[in-house]
A = this chain, B = another copy of it.
Amino acid sequence: MANNTNIKYSTKEKILKYAIKEFLEYGFYGARMQRIADKAKINKAMLFYYYKNKKQIYKEALISIFKTVIENLINISNEDVPIEDKIKEIIDIYADFATKNPDYLRLVQYEFSRGGKDFAKYNILKDISKSQFFPLNPDTGNIFKYFDKKMKSGEIRNINLAHLIISIAGQVMASFFARPLFETIGVYKSSDFDKFIKERKEFIVKLVLDGIKKK
């Protein structure tokens, strides 16, 4: 039985789902097994029935989240649209994912704030970073190919594409990562975060476009 019936598989899934919420709220050390069980409305012993220990649950949560994040940020199309549209597409994908999955982003941030110890240890990106779609892959990444063409045709000046991608992502993600700061000092009126993000997207598009186009 074990792995295939609905009920039983869903218990294992539930554990991961609520464990993620717990790790997010309290971090690895602050997370409590009992609370995960309570949230999932199951007996605590089930955690140890399906997983070896706390560390392993965290590991699987990390892997699951990073895969989701990467898979979502990777979907840059291969279409040969005007640069304006391409830049917009990239920024939209990043901002939309961050908007819809604030929790996932926060766990990434948490893991990075720990120096990414487990992130490195578990070889989470081993396969995916070699994928031909991985945006930072200089040989095959779709973004690389696209901008390479635009540089050769002279539409944009010669730039380091890894830096361009980091710059775009950095500008977008900063809006989410430093949100507590912005709210505290009142960069935008409270509850106007969405409007703030919309403005930011437009600002970044224009800054980057003007920054890379040939004069």
Residues of A whose CB lies within 8 Å of any CB of B are 26-30, 106-107, 109-116, 119-120, 124-125, 129, 134, 136, 159-160, 162-164, 166-167, 169-175, 177-187, 199-200, 203-204, 206-213, 215
Contacts and interface: CB of A to CB of B under 8 A. Distances in A.
Contact of A215 (B169, B177, B212, B215): B215
B174 A115 contact: no
Contact of A119 (B28, B125, B180, B211): B180
Contacts of A26: 29
B166 A174 contact: yes
B115 A200 contact: no
B116 A113 contact: no
A211 B200 contact: no
Contact of A180 (B115, B177, B185): B115
20 contacts: A27-B28, A30-B30, A107-B113, A110-B110, A112-B178, A116-B179, A120-B183, A129-B186, A134-B185, A159-B203, A163-B203, A166-B182, A166-B200, A167-B207, A170-B173, A177-B177, A206-B211, A207-B207, A210-B213, A215-B215
